[in-house]
Every structure is written in structure tokens, then in C-alpha cells.
Structure 1
Amino acid sequence: MVLASGLALTGCGGAGDAPTGSATLGTTANINSHPRDDLRDGGNLRLAMTEYPVNWNTLQIDGNDGEYSDMIFPMMPRSFITDASGNLTVNHDYFTDVQMTSTNPQVVTYTINPKAVWSDGSAITWEDLASQANALSGKDKAFLIAISNGFDRVDKVERGVDDRQAVITFRQPYAEWQGQFAGNAMLYPKNVTHDPDSFNKSLLQGLGLTSGPFILQSTDKAQGRIVLARNPKWWGATPKLDTITTSVLDRATWTAALQNNELDAVLLSDLTDVQNVRTIPALQVRQAPSNRWRHFTFNGAPGSLLADPALRVAISKGIDRQRIADTVLNGLTDHPQPLNNHVFLRGQHGYQDNNLPFDPDAAAKELDALGWVRKGDVREKDGKKLNIRDVMYNDPAWVDIAKLIQQDLAKIGVGLTIETKPGNRFFADVIQPGDFDVCQFTFTGDSFPLASIPQIWGLYPNDVQANYGRIGSPDLNALIDKTLSEIDPAKAVELANQVDRKVFEEGHSLPLIQSVGNYGVRSELANYGAPGLASYDYTMIGFLK
């Protein structure tokens, strides 16, 4: 799972057009599908992001951002592609076969497409997979990894029948083995992953070797512009587009830029955005339930104001997430609902409601029992006020949600100070160091939800990954380990829901709402828009003749 500070869905609105969303995740995509013959050759796809990449290695903790991944996907290998339902197919551009060839011990064999090469013409080999497996294994803490992705369970990676085959043997079973080089996890060349210095620093200014239908043509950090062009060494189907240009723009300006014909597609923030797009004949609203979700995460690090899990749970019970859903999703979906699971998205196989119900009376009683005495508007204990800093990207959508939470918490004597930050280095300088009492940002999931369980909710010494609140327990770690070791899919889902309930009970974080997935898109753009769980075929994106 990757992070995104500025890309998410919200909206405060009233009556108007019919709601855009009623389907569930895993049932649909809306990308204006067309065959290649309907598309013209050439063209420039213009997209936006909120922050210029701090690190172009998305496996590294500073590069773990959903916007970075979206921009880099057309240039890097992934082992599986997904459809709108999350069903997997081997990505034959890179691998002729990927399969589990043994269960005791678990062995997975990757056979690399003999045509697959890096952008300098050198072959993709088993050594690239082995190097990445070693970097993410956690053996050397100098690799500042964003996610271990199951490689902490790998015993060895060996050469198979030739250099184009990698054989991965696990010392512990791993349930999410198909996602190790798929979803949000891309394969990087061994010159990036072979040592900590290269892993952490070699891609600070841009990408080196790539392998996709597009390559990095130019970057301009001062202007906030990144241009991808067709890869002349690409062996697959020729892309229809000539270039993809991504511009760094403040989130609040995206829809206006689309309306002004400065962009071709954007994620829409609210009902007003949807209505504005609908007024332009050359634009469409494309909608499919999205894999992005908003959350409210506590800082429980030792010595922090919210270090006591009982305090975090009491505060959680004072937040009316249904009211947030009703307010924010009003006019965007038929039946607004909060997200009630940390691991699975609503509509995804495995989803069930494991939440702690909204109960402000119980919250107040629990705060009393913990010694937080109400004095005026805000409770106090040992001379310290229960006034918490809620830190977020400076986006009106986030502030609207924070104000709703602020109103709820005021009723139980908890103060909430809303503190906004710019997008530049938001994660690197604010979230990763834990400069918050609570924080709000967006997670972007994929078809491999179990891989994120240790990344976000496991607590391991000197290995934060994405557990920025530093919250966890030995019991939760043991349950996570048991879940990931279960290669029976049905049993793994059952255990993952036990993990989810435990995460609620530890007061780690509160899932808020899932994105309805509204995109404003130029009508002539085909095979792009609201993908749901599906992965894009970047060779098929283009403009209609």
C-alpha cells in the first residue's frame, strides 16, 4: 500500500445531479474502452500531481507515495496485471510464467520474457529480482525500505534454468506471494537495489534504467514538469501516445486546469468539481469505486500525548464517522457509508465491518476513568490539556473533515487544532518523523491487501515502514505473522479480519471514507479514467481519431 497526501475524494454538497457512484469496488471500471484501431497515433497526455518526487525509488520510504507510483508505472516492470475485479493475469511483456511450484517449502518460479530489457538494452535477469529481494528483506537496516513485501520470509533467490529464470524459496510461507513484484511494487534494476547507498540515494533526481513502453524524457523540478516519451527499445505493442506530461499543481487548481484545456484527466475532489466538469461538452465524468481511502491516524510513540491505547480508543469512540460519510459523500453516492475495515476495501473480497461503534457517552466515561478531567472546554490531566494537533496536507477537503472531527471531539472535552502543511516533503519532513498527534492522509490500496499488514500495523524496532504512529504490540505482531503464513486464501482472509479488529482495539487509526472514484476526463481520451482495481495498459491509452 502506498501513500498519497493530496489525492482523495471528498465533497460537501447538496441536491443536484444524480449521484455518480452506486457500484462497489471490484465490479466495474470506466475508462472509455476502445480498440487500438479507433485511436490516432501520437498525442500528449497531460496529468497532474501535487508534489515533485522526493525520491523516485518507490520502494524507499521517501518514495512511498501513490502519486509517484502512478507517474512511474508506465516505465517499470510488474509481474501481474489486474482487471476491474482484481483478477490476476501474468504480465507477459515481462514474464512468460509465474507460478508457485512447491508448497513445502513454498517455492515461486519467475520465468522472464527473453525479450525483456532495461532501457540501455541490457537483459532483465534473475539477479534483478534477487537484488530487490535482498534489499527488502530487512536484514540490513541501512536499506530504508517502505515495505518488506514478504521478502523478510524469503530464504534464497537462485538462478533457474538460465539467467532468465528466478527461483524464490521461502523459509516461512507467504500468503501474498503474487504481489511481490506487482500492484504498487515495481521491479527496479539491480544497480538501484544492490547496496543501501544506491537504494536510498541513487534516484533522488530522477530514474536511471527503466523498462516499459515509456522512458523518462525530461524533468524540470523548478517548473514542476516531468515528461515521458516512447521507449525506442520497447519490445511490446507500440504506445499510441507520443508523450505523457505530468505537472506539479496545487490540488485546488486541478479542475480549473482541466476546464481550461491545460490537463486531460484529474481526480475530482467534490460535488462542485463534478458539476463543473459536466458543464463542459468536451469533458466527461468517469466513475468507478476507487482503491483510495482516507484515514485518521494516531501518534502513539513513547512519550507522546496519545501513548496510552485506552486514551486513543476513547477518542475513537467520540468520532462520528457516519456523519463524515453523510456530509462528505452527499450527492456523490446513493448510500454514503464509512469504511469499517483497515485491511479490505468495501466491495473487496474479505471486507467485513470490524469497527468500534460511535459512542460519545462511553468515550466520556472512559476519559473520566483515565483521569482526564473536564475543566471548561478541554480536559486536563497532571496539568496537561487534552488538545491534539491534527496535521494534514493543505487541501480544503481535508480541512472540512477535520472540522467535523473537531466538532465531535469538542462534545467529549477533547480539543483539536487543525494544522495544514504544503505538499512539498509532506511525508519526508512531517509524517515520517511523527510530527503530529493525529494525522490525515490517503492510502492507495491494490489487489494485494495482505502485503500492507506488517507495513502499516506491525511494530518492529528500527523499521517504521508506514507505521508512522509507532503503534503496535507483540500480540498484534504474532497475529500478523500467522496471517501472512497462511497460504489457504480463505483462512488468510479470516485471520486478516482478526488483525483488523485488533488494530481498532489498539486505537491505531480510524478508516474514514473510501473514494467514490470520480475522474474528470477529456471525452476524446480512450482507455483511461476510473480504473477501479484494474491496471492500465499504457500502450492502449490515446485519443480517438
Structure 2
Amino acid sequence: MPPRDPAVRPGVRPAVRAAAYLVAGVLALPSLAACGSSEDAAAPAAGQDIAAAARDLVADGGKAAWAVDGLPDTFNSFQADAGTTTARVAGAVLPSMYETDERGRPVRNADYLESAEIVEREPKQVVLYKLNQQAVWSDGREIGAADFAAQWRALSGEDSAFWTARNAGYDRIEKIEKGANNLEVRVTFAKPYTDWRSLFSPLYPKEVMGTPDSFNDGARKKLKVTAGPFRISEIDREAGELTLTRNPRWWGRPAKLEQLVLKSVPRDERAAALAAGRVDIAEVTPDDAERIALAARDKGAGGPLAHGPGAQLTPAKALRSWAIANDPENEERAEAETEAIAKTHKAIRKYAKEQQGLRGVTVRKSLEPAYTQLALNGSGGPLADERVRRAVARALDRKELAGLVLKPLGLPAEPVGSHIALAGQEAYSDNSGALGDQDTAEARALLADAGWVAGGPVKTAGSKGEKAKKKSSGSDEDGTYIVGQEDGKPRADERFEVRADNQPEAQAKREEERTKKEAHRGGAQGAYAPKGTAAPKPVGGPLAKDGQALTLKFVLPSGPGSEPLRAVGERIQRMLQKIGIRTEITKVPDDSYFKDHIASGQYDMALYSWPGSAYPATDARPIFAKPEPAADGSLNVEQNYTRVGTDHIDQLFDQALAELDEGKARDLVKKADARIWAAAGSIPLYQRPELVAVRQGLANTGAFGFESPSYEDIGFLKSAGVPKE
């Protein structure tokens, strides 16, 4: 389950491993219980928006094109490079014993499963699956115990020849047997497993899972045998299109669409693709959603558009441009201006034409089952001290950050209170109280207790000898000082920069004025600041300790569609500045953001997302597991890219995994969540917006929220008519 921002749809949980070094402190906390109430999970924060329609109102036939980020690198969901498109294909063409409903709860899929229940608890857990007798693979063979057994052997972790990305749950199975007949599957667990419903979803045929070769390579580029309402009929990688057609052997409700085409379209090209009719369904950015809303508003209006290219061209500016273009005394400048005018007019015409095309599109919006977090890397530097991490967390106004992203979209802007579930899910409980609310004074007290002093001395090239060396090395004399630079050569730890305008002489007055506006009071009791510790009165300048300024490297993605993340990052930067922490924002390409920075630990702070899961004990454990030394001497962090973890958190997850009483299992993961909050390695901020543009008249698709799509129900309303190709 790689993180998003990029984000991941529920149901895809490949584990990505990375090695790093962790210096972890031990939390000294009072006994913590789950802090939320039973009402926390009453309802999702926002309902789904899919233009739901009864099947008898939906026409038979037609083709719909669905924009995706790219064709799948593999069709095997259990490989490391499986992504959201892999999950979309699997949902349409493969069996899943359980899916998720609108509240993120696992529900039995009756198309494949008549029943499934725990039939024995002692001495070992036994689950009996009774399969739908009509369920067959596309080659006519019954889905049966042999397929379950092959998938278990491939994913159990016993045979390293299978290149699996995850084996959670399958490694707890002892054996799989046929029951009274081939449609009964009896699964015996060596260790109790609370999330047994997460298994065999999706289920692959034994032809894929049966051997390492077929598992590793056979299902990467094609799936010969499937069993869903659709089947894969054509893959055109050059054109970036994958065509799904109705499965003639499907025994369930027949697919309404004749074809569903997954088309690779970059995010910044989707508005144009929607306008031209090349795609009918596309996840879009907030900016594109606004364009679509403006297109609907402008329908029937006359005259030039008040937005888009040329919208800021006033009569005065137009007259000046005309004068320059017709200036006989400067032909070169006139020619350049004439070309610029032509270019602008072309852009205006293109934009206006696209806006007309977008009038036939509607944006479906909800909250995605994923949350964006601020990750604090505890593997070294100032954030290895949990007091500094807690100070960062206490400086954040999470409600303000949620509102920054969600309010302009008309979506509920409540901060997320859990690392393991989202509002509406049964495991959700707001445990943020284990860390505490926003409190500037307490944040400063925590930093003071950790030894970071406002206006303290900062090592600079300040001596006469050092100045001479610096001048001889050709360094600038502009008042900029680089911490960690000697003899004009940067040391390995060079990353902190203290500029003259942030030195005590320049900041003292600003800090004095700022602190007058804030009520000074004694520090509240905290986990690391002793009761009665007063928040120190800033004396100007950056916070420093042992001659080093407190500056954190904040890594953010730079690509299109990441604008909301960057806006949140800049707002966080200002919030931290209030407590004396400087941040250096580094914007990196999206394709290297996760691999080269998050997974490798090359950051102090970062923003990325994790999906909410119907199986928190299974899926959250590797995200928050305490890193352990690997056989090669490196550190196995699993998916814990903050490198912050404790033995107690691991123990609570392990207990939850083995607890067959579902209520008790939920209580255990809620307690684990409270301790994750207290460790302050990950600070959940807000649930991600889900914005999906859909062709008008296309029903049962859009912003699904928690619920698994019913691909067979997607289609065009009879009243709207089926579009001609």
C-alpha cells in the first residue's frame, strides 16, 4: 500500500520496503485509552456522489472511456508495482469474496460467495467458504478450492521464488482443503486472524498463482483467464488504451455497457479530453472542477468569457498592445507583439471551445477514503527528539489546514482524528487528544525543554581567520551564513541556512511586537515539558542548540495537481515560524517524490496520503511498525517512512490481529492509534477531496467514497440516450 500524493484506492495494498537508520526515543506516557466516543463513526463526513439510478433506467450498450494515470505495469495485484489501474481492472474482471460498502465495511459478494463464517475457534480458527455454484472462470472451469490453495501457497511467504509484495494474512494459514464438495473451501489458520475477510480479494485463477513463473511474469502483461462482469479484450499500450468488454460467461447481472475503456490521460490534459469527448469519466484537479462549474454557469451567456486566457486584458492594455504592434519605428518589437497577440487569440478560441464542450460534464464530489498527513522523519536531526515532533504538531491549526483545501470545494472541512480509519468507519475514533490541540505556548515550552533557545548563538564563519578563509574561497559577502561550511567547502551536514534578515539584530523587534500580541502564560503539563515550565519569551533570532539553527527540510511535490499540497505546505511553514522553527521547502518532481525522498528518508517533513482500510489491524500495522534491523545490517522500516515506532504499538496491533471478537479488535487498534498520536511521527490533517468529472447522462459512477464500484451497473440513462461513437 504505497502512499499517495500520490494516494491509493482501497483494496490495493502492495508493501513497499525501504532501508534507513532510525534513532528512536522512548515515550514516557501515562496509560492511554481510545479517546473517541461511539458516535465518532456514525456517518461518513461526506456521502458518495455517483448519480445512482436503478438498472431498469439504464440503457443496454454503449462505450464509456475512463481516464487513468497510466496502463498497469502488472495485472497482478500482489506485486510491488501494482497500482490504482491494476485495482480498477481487477475489480471489473476478477472475483472478490468481499467488497466494501458506503461506510467502508466489508460485505460479502454474493456473485461469488453464498456464505463464509468461522465454524471453529478452538483449537484453531477454521473458516468455511461456500461458493456460488454458478461461478466459473472464463474458460468454463468452476471457481473452487484449487484456486484458493494456489493463491495461499503463492502468498504465504514460504517460497521466495514467488515475488510477492505482501503476504499479510496468508502467512497465518496452515492449510486449505476441499469441503463436502469442490464449492466448499475449508481454511484452517495456524494463528487466529481477525481480518480473514481481507483474503482472496481479488482471487486469481490457479493458472496465475500455481507456479513462480506464471505468478512473476505470466500475469504482468495479460490475463488469459478471468471471472467478472467484464473481460480484457484489447490492450494497446502505444495508444494508452485498455478495452474491457462484456464477459459472455458472466452469471450475474449483465454489464450495462458493451465496452469500458481505460485510457491513459495526464492530469493536466483531462479537461481538454473531457471537452473533446475523448473520455467520459476522469478524476480532476480543483482547478479543472472550477472550469467545469464555470462552463455550466456560462451556458447561454453571450459575449467573451470573463475567465481564461485574455480575461485580464483591459481596454487600456489592449490599446497599448495594438500601439506596440503597429509601431513603425521598432519593427522587431512590433513583430514580437503581433506574434504574442496571435498566440493569445488562439488560446482564447481554444479555451472558449473547450468550455463549450465542458457544458456536457458534471463534477461529482465527495471525500476520498484517504487522508493527507504531515510526516515527521524521526530517524535523525532535531525530529529524532519526540519533544520537537510534538512541538511541531502542537503548532499546527489542523482545522485551518483542512479548510484551506476543502472549504473552497464545498466539502466538510473537519480534521481527521485517526491514523487507522476515517469518519463513518466502525474503527474510527478521534484520538488526537493523546497529543493535544494547537497551543503555541506549549509548543515553545516543549522546544525549550529540548534545549532549543530563541536567539541562541549560531555557528557562523565569524572569526577573523574564518572570514579571511571565506573571502579567499570566493564566497559571497551578502550577509548570508551557511551553517556547516568550513574553508569554503560544505560539510556532509550542510542543509541549514541562516540569513542576515533572520539574525537577532533584524528579528528582535519583530519578535517583541509579535509576543506582545500573544497571551503569555505558564506552560501546560505535557509529556516532555515539566508542569509549570513557562513558554520562554522569545528574544529574537532563530531557535538554536549547540550552535545549530533549528531548520527543517520540507519536501513537496512540484507537478500539476499538487497545488493544494503546496498551499498546505506553505501555510504549515508560517505556522511553524510562529514558534521559531524555520523550514526550507524543496519542490521535487512527482515521479521521484516517493522513491527518492519519502521511502529513502531524505526529508524532515513531507506531505503524503494513506488510504482508510476496512482492515486496520492488517493494513495499518506495517505503516506504524517499529523499524527493525534486517539481516544485511540495514533497517527494515516496512511502510513506516517516518521511522517512528514503539514496541507497545506493535503489541497492540498484534493483539488486534489475533482477536476474533471484532469489537475487542477494534478497541485494540483504537488504543494503538492513541499511542501513534502521542509518538507524533505522523499528524493526520484532512480527508482528501474526491473530484470526478462525469459525462452527463452517465449513471452509477463518480465519487464512490468508500464503496467498491459496481462496474456492471455503470451505463447511460435511457432518457439521455446512448452516445454514438
Instruction: Judge same fold: TM > 0.5, yes or no.
Output: yes
Higher RCO (CA 8 Å, separation ≥ 6 residues): 1
CA distance in 1, matches of 2:65, 2:616: 30
Structure 2 matches for 1:225-244, cutoff 5 A? 225-244=241-260
Residue 339 of structure 2 corresponds to: none
Residue 291 of structure 1 is aligned with which of 369, 385, 405?
369
Structure 2 matches for 1:149-160, cutoff 5 A? 149-160=168-179
CA gap 1:347/1:192 in 2 versus in 1, 3 angstroms:
same
* 1:313 aligned onto 2:390: yes
CA distance in 1, matches of 2:598, 2:143: 35
Contact kept? 1:25, 1:290, Cα under 8 Å: no
* 1:418 aligned onto 2:552: no
CA deviation profile, 1:259-278 (whole Å, cap 9, x unmatched): 44332123343276146246
CA deviation profile, 1:451-509 (whole Å, cap 9, x unmatched): 31223222465565533334322221111111222222222222111111111222331
Structure 2 matches for 1:139-288, cutoff 5 A? 139=158, 145-182=164-201, 186-194=202-210, 199-270=215-286, 273-274=289-290, 276-277=292-293, 279-280=295-296, 281-288=359-366
Structure 2 matches for 1:492-511, cutoff 5 A? 492-511=665-684
CA gap 1:289/1:328 in 2 versus in 1, 3 angstroms:
closer
Aligned to 1:517, the other structure's residue is in SS state: strand
CA distance in 2, matches of 1:249, 1:209: 27
CA distance in 1, matches of 2:217, 2:398: 40
How far the C-alpha of 1:78 sits from its partner, in A, is: 0.6
Q: List gaps (5 residues or longer) in structure 2.
A: 10-41, 297-358, 459-497, 503-541, 631-635, 719-725
CA deviation profile, 1:208-253 (whole Å, cap 9, x unmatched): 5332122223334444332222223333332121222222233233
Residue type matched to 1:230 in 2?
Answer: R
Residue type matched to 1:98 in 2?
Answer: A
Aligned to 1:329, the other structure's residue is in SS state: helix
CA gap 1:88/1:354 in 2 versus in 1, 3 angstroms:
closer
CA distance in 1, matches of 2:254, 2:264: 27
* 1:473 aligned onto 2:551: no
How far the C-alpha of 1:541 sits from its partner, in A, is: 0.8
Residue 369 of structure 1 corresponds to: 449
Residue 129 of structure 2 corresponds to: 110
CA gap 1:388/1:93 in 2 versus in 1, 3 angstroms:
same
CA distance in 2, matches of 1:393, 1:194: 43
CA distance in 1, matches of 2:164, 2:548: 36
Contact kept? 1:2, 1:66, Cα under 8 Å: no
How far the C-alpha of 1:525 sits from its partner, in A, is: 0.5
Residue 564 of structure 2 corresponds to: 397
Counting matched residue pairs gives 526
Residue type matched to 1:473 in 2?
Answer: T
CA gap 1:309/1:192 in 2 versus in 1, 3 angstroms:
farther
* 1:517 aligned onto 2:690: yes
Aligned to 1:471, the other structure's residue is in SS state: coil
Contact kept? 1:317, 1:363, Cα under 8 Å: yes
Contact kept? 2:691, 2:703, Cα under 8 Å: yes
Q: List gaps (5 residues or longer) in structure 1.
A: 10-22
Aligned to 1:229, the other structure's residue is in SS state: strand
CA gap 1:479/1:223 in 2 versus in 1, 3 angstroms:
same
Contact kept? 1:111, 1:164, Cα under 8 Å: yes
Aligned to 2:231, the other structure's residue is in SS state: strand
Aligned to 1:494, the other structure's residue is in SS state: helix
Contact kept? 1:25, 1:346, Cα under 8 Å: yes
Residue 20 of structure 2 corresponds to: none
Contact kept? 1:76, 1:188, Cα under 8 Å: yes
CA gap 1:277/1:266 in 2 versus in 1, 3 angstroms:
farther
Residue type matched to 2:688 in 1?
Answer: S
Superposed CA RMSD in Å reads 3.3
TM, length-normalised to structure 2: 0.65
Aligned to 1:511, the other structure's residue is in SS state: strand
CA distance in 1, matches of 2:599, 2:211: 22
CA gap 1:526/1:324 in 2 versus in 1, 3 angstroms:
same
Residue 467 of structure 2 corresponds to: none
CA distance in 2, matches of 1:308, 1:206: 49
Residue 15 of structure 1 corresponds to: none
CA distance in 2, matches of 1:488, 1:359: 39
* 1:532 aligned onto 2:705: yes
Aligned to 2:408, the other structure's residue is in SS state: coil
CA gap 1:335/1:524 in 2 versus in 1, 3 angstroms:
closer
Residue 17 of structure 1 corresponds to: none
Contact kept? 2:47, 2:705, Cα under 8 Å: yes
TM, length-normalised to structure 1: 0.85
How far the C-alpha of 1:169 sits from its partner, in A, is: 1.6
Aligned to 1:408, the other structure's residue is in SS state: helix
Residue 98 of structure 2 is aligned with which of 50, 73, 80?
80
CA deviation profile, 1:102-135 (whole Å, cap 9, x unmatched): 2222211122233333334444322322333344
Residue 423 of structure 2 corresponds to: 346
How far the C-alpha of 1:446 sits from its partner, in A, is: 4.2
CA distance in 2, matches of 1:431, 1:533: 26
After alignment, is 137-146 or 509-518 more displaced?
A: 137-146
CA gap 1:143/1:8 in 2 versus in 1, 3 angstroms:
closer
Residue 454 of structure 1 corresponds to: 621
Contact kept? 1:286, 1:530, Cα under 8 Å: yes
Residue type matched to 1:107 in 2?
Answer: V
How far the C-alpha of 1:74 sits from its partner, in A, is: 0.5
Aligned to 2:407, the other structure's residue is in SS state: coil
Residue 439 of structure 1 corresponds to: 606
CA distance in 1, matches of 2:72, 2:453: 45
Residue type matched to 1:487 in 2?
Answer: L
Contact kept? 2:68, 2:282, Cα under 8 Å: no
Residue 658 of structure 2 is aligned with which of 485, 500, 508?
485
* 1:55 aligned onto 2:74: yes
How far the C-alpha of 1:348 sits from its partner, in A, is: 2.2
CA distance in 1, matches of 2:667, 2:425: 14
CA gap 1:8/1:513 in 2 versus in 1, 3 angstroms:
farther
How far the C-alpha of 1:6 sits from its partner, in A, is: 4.2
CA deviation profile, 1:186-214 (whole Å, cap 9, x unmatched): 22233444566654554443445332122
How far the C-alpha of 1:41 sits from its partner, in A, is: 2.4
Contact kept? 2:421, 2:427, Cα under 8 Å: yes
Contact kept? 1:2, 1:444, Cα under 8 Å: no
CA gap 1:276/1:6 in 2 versus in 1, 3 angstroms:
farther
CA distance in 2, matches of 1:392, 1:499: 30
Contact kept? 1:50, 1:251, Cα under 8 Å: yes
Residue type matched to 2:553 in 1?
Answer: I
Residue type matched to 1:359 in 2?
Answer: D
